[in-house]
């Protein structure tokens, strides 16, 4: 196959993030973002990485995803990289929810579109936007293979014992209620990159991956396959996040409805948007929280402690799930940058094997690296995640086989 370029699209309800990669060497040719689609002040930011030129910004009305993608193609064309280029071999789409159906990246056809649509009730915020992005891209390049890469796919290997909630089976099945997990592309990429960092094959290592961004999730990966993860039916379950509560007693919801007289929508907003770090201390940016802690702010300190306590509980749980652990890997905005979070999360776990070396932990780098002392029985790693590269890699591998 001569064409080697893959365009990766991540379509939200009012935004499109994109990257163009050349899969001969996985290099990035361009990257950008269209925001506030449908408003008067839409914004396109385009970085022409291949030419090393300065980022270009444009503000004005972009009516819909169709107009957004055409604007992106125009920007790409200025550097000879337009969507009509024969060098473009496929478009890879991030799709949040693939349910139980999609266990792998999938070439998109009408049947696949119908199934992604059928999953909207379990992903009402994300799948419609992903579908719009796919339909728009297909209309622009109907001849080009388009691939859906699902956030849930990596977690479909979870055994039923981890994937099922202990609720009435008939009710659960009727509404497709089970634990699906998210951030799968990142957990897949980081667990493999961690194995590589240890000089081993993914099949030969057990890894706990901690994806700590604004959204946060943990996963237990045995020999390259996910056996448990902290997010569930939706991305609300599990760790304390920027604005999401993570685990709570489900009866909190009944209580807020019955006693607090809140509507379901109000509770949904409370738990998804006004909880987590922002609910606990008013800030969801870990940099700001650390700055406040340094100034002696007790509310910020308590928020940090609750965040770390939950993280530790998941690390402990996944030790028990995996039996033996070779490495703990930190990734995403907080995991890659916040040394105090990494130090605090691992502190006190030394009898289980992991440890953090203060000096190594303080090093800032974009490269995957170990931050545990050389003699630690369980390695601790920082592995920058790269979901776009993973989507492009999976897309290219799939179309190359066809
Ligand atoms: P993500 O969702 O992966 O983009 O992560 C975003 C989050 O990463 C932000 O909300 C911050 O809390 C956190 N973050 C980014 N940079 C830093 C940093 N230098 N130190 C601490 N936290 C950071």
Q: Find out whether 334 is annotated in a ligand binding site.
A: yes
Residue 1's pLDDT band, with cuts at 50, 70 and 90, is low
Q: Find out whether 287 is annotated in a ligand binding site.
A: yes
List 22, 151, 283, 326, catalytic entry: 151
Beta bridge partners of 95: 150
Question: Hey, whose CA ends up nearest to atom 16 of ligand 1?
Answer: 333
Per-residue DSSP letters for 100-147?
Answer: TT--S-EE--HHHHHHHHHTGGG-TTTHHHHHHHHHHHHHH-TTS-EE
Instruction: Report the predicted TM-score, pTM, of the whole model to 2 decimal places.
Output: 0.94
Which tens digits make up the pLDDT trace of 284-307?
999 999 999 999 999 999 999 999
Q: Which atom of ligand 1 is nearest to the CA of 215?
A: 2
In whole numbers, what is the pLDDT of the chain averaged over residues?
A: 95
Cα–ligand 1 centroid distance for 288 (angstroms):
10
Asked if pLDDT for residue 402 goes beyond 80, the answer is no
Cα–ligand 1 centroid distance for 335 (angstroms):
8
- Residue from 186, 216, 285 to probe ligand 1 pocket by mutation (most atoms less than 8 Å from CB): 285
Pick the closest to residue 42 from 20, 12, 7, 19 (CA basis). 12
Q: 5-150 and 200-387 share one CATH topology? A: yes
| Helical residues (DSSP H) of 119-235, grouped into ranges | 127-140, 160-163, 169-174, 184-197
Which tens digits make up the pLDDT trace of 43-97?
999 999 988 889 999 999 999 998 999 999 999 999 889 899 999 999 999 999 9
Whether domain 5-150 has CATH 1.20.120.640: the reply is no
Cα–ligand 1 centroid distance for 336 (angstroms):
8
Question: Hey, whose CA ends up nearest to atom 23 of ligand 1?
Answer: 334
Cα–ligand 1 centroid distance for 214 (angstroms):
7
Instruction: Give residue ranges with CB within 6 A of ligand 1.
Output: 213-214, 242, 284-287, 332-334, 337-338
Q: Which atom of ligand 1 is nearest to the CA of 287?
A: 21
Q: Which atom of ligand 1 is nearest to the CA of 290?
A: 21
Which tens digits make up the pLDDT trace of 212-224?
999 999 999 999 9
For domain 200-387, give the fold: Nucleotidyltransferase; domain 5 (3.30.420)
What's the rounded mean pLDDT across residues 194-205? Answer: 98
The pLDDT, as a whole number, for residue 333 is 95
- Give the side-chain half-sphere CA count within 13 A for 205: 22
The pLDDT, as a whole number, for residue 13 is 82
- For residues 44 and 32, the answer to whether their CB atoms sit within 8 Å is yes
- Residues 6 or more apart whose Cβ sits within 8 Å of residue 10: 16, 17, 18, 93, 94, 133, 387, 388
**What dihedral do alpha carbons 236, 239, 241, 247 form, nearest 10°?**
50
Q: Find out whether 211 is annotated in a ligand binding site.
A: yes
Q: Which atom of ligand 1 is nearest to the CA of 385?
A: 3
Cα–ligand 1 centroid distance for 377 (angstroms):
29
Q: What is the DSSP letter of 215?
A: S
- For residues 213 and 240, the answer to whether their CB atoms sit within 8 Å is no
Domain boundaries, the chain: 5-150, 200-387
- Residue from 287, 289, 366 to probe ligand 1 pocket by mutation (most atoms less than 8 Å from CB): 287
Q: Find out whether 390 is annotated in a ligand binding site.
A: no
Angstrom distance (rounded) from CA 309 to CA 164? 25
Q: What is the DSSP letter of 90?
A: E
Asked if pLDDT for residue 246 goes beyond 60, the answer is yes
Which tens digits make up the pLDDT trace of 155-193?
999 999 999 999 999 999 999 999 999 999 999 999 999
What's the rounded mean pLDDT across residues 258-284? Answer: 97
The pLDDT, as a whole number, for residue 370 is 98
Cα–ligand 1 centroid distance for 242 (angstroms):
9
β-strands 369-370, 16-22 pairing: unpaired
Is 375 a residue of the active site? no
Q: Find out whether 199 is annotated in a ligand binding site.
A: no
């Amino acid at each position: 196959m001569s064409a080697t370029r893959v365009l990766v699209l991540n379509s939200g309800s009012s935004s499109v993030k994109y990257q163009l990669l050349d899969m001969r060497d996985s290099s990035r040719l361009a990257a950008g973002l269209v925001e506030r689609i449908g408003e008067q002040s839409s914004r396109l930011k385009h970085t022409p990485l291949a030419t090393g030129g300065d980022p270009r910004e444009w503000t004005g009305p972009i009516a819909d995803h169709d107009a957004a993608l055409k604007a992106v193609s125009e920007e790409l064309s200025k550097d000879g990289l337009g969507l009509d280029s024969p060098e473009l071999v496929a478009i890879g789409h991030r799709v949040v929810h693939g349910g139980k159906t999609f266990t792998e990246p999938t070439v998109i056809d009408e049947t696949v579109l119908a199934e992604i649509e059928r999953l909207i009730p379990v992903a009402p915020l994300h799948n419609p936007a992903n579908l719009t992005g796919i339909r728009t891209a297909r209309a622009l390049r109907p001849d080009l293979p388009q691939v859906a890469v699902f956030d849930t796919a990596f977690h479909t290997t979870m055994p039923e014992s981890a994937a099922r909630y202990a609720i009435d089976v008939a009710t659960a099945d009727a509404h497709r209620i089970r634990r699906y997990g998210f951030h799968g592309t990142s957990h897949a990429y980081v667990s493999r990159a961690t194995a590589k960092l240890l000089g081993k094959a993914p099949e030969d290592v057990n890894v706990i991956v901690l994806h700590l961004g604004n959204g946060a999730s943990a996963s237990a990966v045995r020999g390259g396959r996910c056996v448990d993860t902290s997010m569930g039916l939706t991305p609300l379950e599990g760790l304390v996040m920027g604005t999401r509560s993570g685990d709570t007693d489900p009866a909190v919801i009944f209580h807020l409805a019955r006693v607090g007289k809140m509507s379901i929508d109000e509770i949904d907003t409370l738990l998804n948007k006004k909880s987590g770090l922002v609910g606990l201390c008013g800030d969801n940016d870990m940099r700001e929280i650390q700055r406040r802690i340094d100034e002696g702010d007790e509310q910020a300190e308590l928020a940090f402690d609750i965040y770390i306590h939950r993280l530790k509980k998941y690390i402990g749980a996944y030790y028990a799930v995996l039996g033996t652990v070779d490495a703990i890997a930190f990734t995403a905005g907080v995991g890659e940058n916040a040394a105090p979070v990494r130090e605090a999360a691992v502190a006190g776990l030394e009898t289980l094997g992991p440890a953090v070396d203060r000096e190594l932990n303080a090093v800032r780098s974009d490269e995957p690296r170990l931050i545990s002392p050389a003699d630690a029985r369980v390695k601790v790693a920082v592995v920058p995640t790269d979901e776009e590269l993973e989507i492009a890699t999976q897309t290219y591998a799939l179309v190359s086989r066809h």
